[in-house]
C-alpha cells in the first residue's frame, strides 16, 4: 500500500495546494467550506449550501412522514452548521449547480449499497478483483459519482485513502452517516414504499470519506491518484470526454481507471451516431491517452428490488466494464487554460472565444399553462441537451431564452455577456457568466471554439 497522502488543487484556477487544502484558494478566492466534515470543492460551494437549506425546507411537503423524520434527523445538524457560514447571493445563473443537488429518489441507491444486497456484493467482489489484477499502486482511490458510497467503503480495505466524490451534498451526508456506523430507516418510492432499515459498519473504515465535487473539475493535483472508479456515471454525464480528461490529469503515471456502466455518448458525436459500447472503447481510451487492460461486456443487476417484494422489478443490464492504464499526459486544452486564467485574473482570453450550441443536441424551452384544481398556472419546461426535462421558474426561463438565443456561434463570449448581462434581473457579473459558460460546456450543452467559424473559412 502507498501512504494515502492526498495532493489537492483548486477546481477553478488549477493552483496546486499540496497536502494542506486552504479554506479559500489563495489565487482565485474560491472557498472550500466543509459541512459535517464533507468538503465542498466546486466552482460555487455556496450554491450547494443554499440548496441544502432550501431543499430541507421543502422536505415536509415532499416526503413520507417516515422519510421526512429520518432525513431530517441526519440533515438537521448539517443545516445547523450552515447557519454559521456567511450567506452569499444565489443568482439565476447558478441554476445548473442548484438543479444537480437534489436528494429525492435516491433512497434506492442507499438500500442497494448498505443492506448487503446480492447486487452490491457482486459489484464489490468484481471491483476488488479488478483492483487486485490491475492496480499495483494502491495509495489513493477516488470513486466519481459515488452516490450512496458503498464502493468507497469497500475500497478502503485495499487503499489507505478512499474518497467518494458526488455533486449531491444531501446524498453524501446520508451516505457519510451510514459510513460512520449510523442507521437509517427509509420507505423506498421505487419499492411501493416498502420500509428498509440500513446500518453502516460497526467499525468505520479508516481513510474513507466523501467530497462534494464535479467529476469534470476534480480537486486533485495532477498525477496524485492511483485508482479512479466510475460506475453508472458516463451515461448520465452530458460530456463524458471532460470527465475522462480529468481522470487522465489526476491519475499518477500508470494509474488505473475502472469503469462499470451503461453505453454512453460523447457530446461531439454526430446526432445520428449510436451509443458507444465495448467495441468502441479501444479507440475512445486511446484518444484520451489510456491503454486498455481489459474490456468486456458484463451482465449486472441494477436496482434489483425483487428481494423486497416479488412484484418489484428485477433488472439486469448489459454494461461496459473496462480497466485502463494511463499512458501519458494529454496536451493541455487551450479552452480549459483560458477558463483557469480568467479565474486566476491572468487574462480574459476566454471572453474572446466563441460559444456555440452543439449540432443535434437541441435544448427546448416550452412555455405554457398547467391546469388543476388550484386553477391555471404558467409553466416553463426545460428539456436539456441530455434529453432530461424539468419544470423551471419563469424568471429562469426568461434568462435562458436570452442566453440561448445570444449564443449563435458568431458572437464571442464577451458579446453574449453584453447581450444577456444588460437584460438580467439580477446583476450578472463577468465571473458569474464565465462560471456558467464553463458549467454548460462541462455538461455538454455547448462547446467553445477559439475563433469565429467565418474566420476559420478565410484563406
Ligand X SMILES: C[S@@+](CC[C@H](N)C(=O)[O-])C[C@H]1O[C@@H](n2cnc3c(N)ncnc32)[C@H](O)[C@@H]1O
* Interface contacts to ligand X, rule CB under 6 A: 109, 144-148, 165-168, 171, 214-216, 231-233, 236-237
Smallest separation (angstroms) from ligand X to the CB of 80: 24
Q: Which of 335, 344, 359 is nearest to 444 (CA)?
A: 359
CA–CA separation, 189 and 338 (whole Å): 44
Identify whether the C-beta of residue 207 lies closer than 8 Å to the C-beta of residue 156.
Answer: yes
Q: Which of 33, 439, 22, 19 is nearest to 221 (CA)?
A: 19
Q: What is the CA radius of gyration of the chain?
A: 22
CA–CA separation, 416 and 448 (whole Å): 13
Nearer to ligand X, 189 or 282 (CB): 189
Consecutive H or E run containing 38: strand 38-39
Cβ contacts of residue 52 below 8 Å, gap of 6+?
A: 35, 75, 78, 79, 82, 101, 169, 170, 173
Smallest separation (angstroms) from ligand X to the CB of 128: 15
Nearer to ligand X, 27 or 383 (CB): 383
Nearer to ligand X, 218 or 256 (CB): 218
Smallest separation (angstroms) from ligand X to the CB of 370: 28
Nearer to ligand X, 214 or 304 (CB): 214
Smallest separation (angstroms) from ligand X to the CB of 233: 5
Q: How many Å separate Cα 73 from the centre of its chain?
A: 26
Nearer to ligand X, 211 or 413 (CB): 211
Nearer to ligand X, 174 or 428 (CB): 174
Smallest separation (angstroms) from ligand X to the CB of 443: 8
Smallest separation (angstroms) from ligand X to the CB of 148: 6
Residues 443, 292, 165, 124, CA torsion sign? positive
Smallest separation (angstroms) from ligand X to the CB of 81: 21
Say how many residues make up the chain: 459
Beta strand 375-383 pairing with 389-392: antiparallel
Nearer to ligand X, 307 or 398 (CB): 307
How is residue 399 written as a grid cell?
A: 434568462
Smallest separation (angstroms) from ligand X to the CB of 209: 15
Smallest separation (angstroms) from ligand X to the CB of 319: 10
How is residue 159 written as a grid cell?
A: 487503499
Nearer to ligand X, 154 or 424 (CB): 154
Q: Give the CA distances from residue 250 to residues 140, 253, 304, 320, in Å, rounded to whole numbers and listed in that order.
A: 11, 9, 34, 22
Nearer to ligand X, 93 or 231 (CB): 231
CA–CA separation, 169 and 81 (whole Å): 13
Nearer to ligand X, 146 or 173 (CB): 146
CA–CA separation, 145 and 215 (whole Å): 7
Smallest separation (angstroms) from ligand X to the CB of 145: 3
Q: Which of 450, 411, 222 is nearest to 333 (CA)?
A: 450
Amino acid at each position: 500500500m502507498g501512504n494515502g497522502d492526498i495532493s489537492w488543487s483548486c477546481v477553478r484556477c488549477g493552483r496546486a495546494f499540496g497536502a494542506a487544502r486552504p479554506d479559500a484558494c489563495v489565487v482565485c478566492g474560491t472557498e472550500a467550506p466543509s459541512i459535517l466534515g464533507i468538503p465542498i470543492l466546486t466552482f460555487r460551494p455556496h450554491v450547494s449550501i443554499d440548496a441544502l437549506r432550501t431543499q430541507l425546507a421543502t422536505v415536509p411537503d415532499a416526503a413520507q412522514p417516515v422519510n421526512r423524520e429520518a432525513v431530517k434527523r441526519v440533515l438537521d445538524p448539517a443545516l445547523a452548521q450552515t447557519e454559521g457560514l456567511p450567506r452569499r447571493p444565489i443568482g439565476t445563473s447558478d441554476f445548473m449547480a442548484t438543479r444537480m443537488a437534489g436528494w429525492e429518489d435516491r433512497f434506492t441507491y442507499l438500500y442497494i449499497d448498505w443492506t448487503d444486497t446480492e447486487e452490491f456484493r457482486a459489484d464489490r467482489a468484481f471491483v476488488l478483483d479488478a483492483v487486485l489484477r490491475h492496480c499495483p499502486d494502491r495509495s489513493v482511490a477516488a470513486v466519481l459519482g459515488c452516490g450512496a458510497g458503498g464502493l468507497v467503503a469497500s475500497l478502503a480495505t485495499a487503499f489507505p485513502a478512499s474518497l467518494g466524490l458526488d455533486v449531491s451534498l444531501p446524498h453524501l451526508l446520508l451516505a457519510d452517516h451510514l459510513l460512520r456506523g449510523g442507521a437509517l430507516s427509509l420507505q423506498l418510492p421505487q419499492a411501493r414504499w416498502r420500509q428498509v432499515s440500513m446500518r453502516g459498519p460497526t467499525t468505520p473504515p479508516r481513510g474513507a470519506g466523501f467530497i462534494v465535487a464535479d467529476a469534470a473539475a476534480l480537486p486533485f493535483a495532477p498525477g496524485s491518484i492511483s485508482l479512479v472508479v466510475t460506475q453508472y456515471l458516463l451515461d448520465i454525464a452530458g460530456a463524458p470526454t471532460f470527465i475522462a480528461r480529468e481522470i487522465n490529469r489526476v491519475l499518477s503515471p500508470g494509474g488505473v481507471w475502472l469503469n462499470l456502466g451503461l453505453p454512453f455518448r460523447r457530446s461531439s458525436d454526430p446526432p445520428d451516431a449510436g451509443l458507444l459500447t465495448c467495441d468502441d472503447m479501444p479507440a475512445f481510451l486511446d484518444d484520451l491517452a489510456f491503454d486498455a487492460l481489459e474490456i468486456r461486456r458484463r451482465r449486472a443487476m441494477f436496482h434489483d428490488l425483487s428481494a423486497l417484494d416479488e412484484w418489484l422489478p428485477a433488472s439486469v443490464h448489459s454494461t461496459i466494464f473496462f480497466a485502463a492504464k494511463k499512458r501519458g499526459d494529454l496536451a493541455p486544452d487551450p479552452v480549459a487554460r483560458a477558463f483557469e486564467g480568467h479565474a486566476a485574473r491572468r487574462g480574459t482570453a476566454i471572453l474572446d472565444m466563441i460559444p456555440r450550441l452543439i449540432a443535434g443536441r437541441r435544448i427546448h424551452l416550452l412555455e405554457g399553462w398547467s391546469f388543476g384544481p388550484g386553477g391555471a398556472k404558467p409553466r416553463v419546461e426545460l428539456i436539456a441537451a441530455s434529453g432530461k426535462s424539468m419544470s423551471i421558474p419563469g424568471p429562469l426561463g426568461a434568462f435562458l431564452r436570452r442566453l440561448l438565443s445570444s449564443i449563435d456561434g458568431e458572437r464571442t463570449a464577451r458579446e453574449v455577456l453584453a447581450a444577456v448581462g444588460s437584460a438580467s434581473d439580477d446583476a450578472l457579473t463577468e465571473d458569474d457568466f464565465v462560471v456558467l459558460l464553463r458549467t454548460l460546456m462541462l455538461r455538454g450543452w455547448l462547446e467553445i471554439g477559439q475563433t469565429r467559424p467565418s474566420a476559420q473559412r478565410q484563406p
